[in-house]
Structure 1
Amino acid sequence: PATMTIMVEDIMKLLCSLSGERKMKAAVKHSGKGALVTGAVAFVGGLVGGPPGLAVGGAVGGLLGAWMTSGQFKPIPQILMELPPAEQQKLFKEAMAIIRHLEWTDAVQLTALVMGSEALQQQLLAMLVNYVTKELRAEIQYDD
């Protein structure tokens, strides 16, 4: 049987193949910055114009924050490969719960097995989307 590290690498390669094929991207890094801008502009609006200023500031700040974070999407395969080992381990455990019944010797065979099953692809993608949105607090985008 493959060692744990190799298995984790296989799973990461599989998830990269799946998300890469779907052209999935996520915005992670700058989402906090967008929230800060929204809050700061709303705060200034409130100082300057009282409650109505707060509303206007919140709206302007939200637009500014959204504009700042747009276009900051990175391909999910790239994000996955940059994850620290502890996070890769988390993803590995969640993926293993879905594919534990499969037997494979390497990432190529594993990917072929999963690509042959629409149901497995859907389960793994749902798990991945859930992980990226909950754990990484990222927004996901699909390029058509």
Structure 2
Amino acid sequence: MPLNVDNVMQLFCHLSAQKEMKAAVKHSGSGALLAGAGAFIGGLMGGPPGIAVGGALGGLCGAWMTSGQFRPVPQILLELPPAEQQKLYDEAIAILRNLDWTDMVQLTALVMGNASLQQKLLGVLMNYLSKELRAEIQYRE
């Protein structure tokens, strides 16, 4: 049975839900900007010691601002635009094209019953999330 993008997205959603994967897009630029602004303002107000204090406070604020923004990977995958889903599909199809299956239930069972296939697909997914979306990933092993 031919695979389409929706089938592959369903498979990735099932796999990532099983592994309890969550991802957060890093906002390191805004955190760094806040740390730099804190150091600058601290330097203006307190000289060299103010730079250290302002940088530390700005860094803490930046870290607080960007923490806790993890979302379930299935939710992220379903919100991807079609062009991004196609990129992920293109990577996964190389792994899945030689499998013999009749419906999504059987395909999912084939993948979930084969640790090697799971690892390959997880690798594709994690590579996509970290490289394309620059996301930090958490999951249960």
Structure-to-structure mapping, 1:37-48, within 5 angstroms: 37-48=34-45
Check if 1:120 corresponds to 2:117.
Answer: yes
Structure-to-structure mapping, 1:124-135, within 5 angstroms: 124-135=121-132
Distance 2:20 2:105 in 1: 19
In structure 1, which of residues 76, 83, 86 is the aligned counterpart of residue 83 of structure 2? 86
Give the fraction of aligned pairs with identical amino acids, expressed as a percent. Answer: 69
User: What's the TM-score, normalizing by structure 1?
Assistant: 0.81
State which drifts further: 11-20 or 51-60. Answer: 51-60
In structure 2, which of residues 104, 111, 130 is the aligned counterpart of residue 107 of structure 1? 104
Match of 2:102, SS state, is coil
Q: Assess, with a 3 A threshold, how the Cα gap between structure 1 residues 64 and 118 changes in structure 2: closer, same or farther.
A: same
Question: Of the two, which has the highest radius of gyration?
Answer: 2
User: What's the TM-score, normalizing by structure 2?
Assistant: 0.83
Match of 1:92, SS state, is helix
Distance 2:62 2:9 in 1: 32
Unaligned runs of at least 5 residues, structure 2: none
8 Å CA contact 2:21, 2:137 repeated in 1: yes
Unaligned runs of at least 5 residues, structure 1: none
May I ask how many residue pairs the two structures share in their alignment?
Answer: 141
Give the structure 2 partner of residue 11 of structure 1: 8
Q: CA RMSD in A?
A: 2.4
Distance 1:115 1:53 in 2: 56
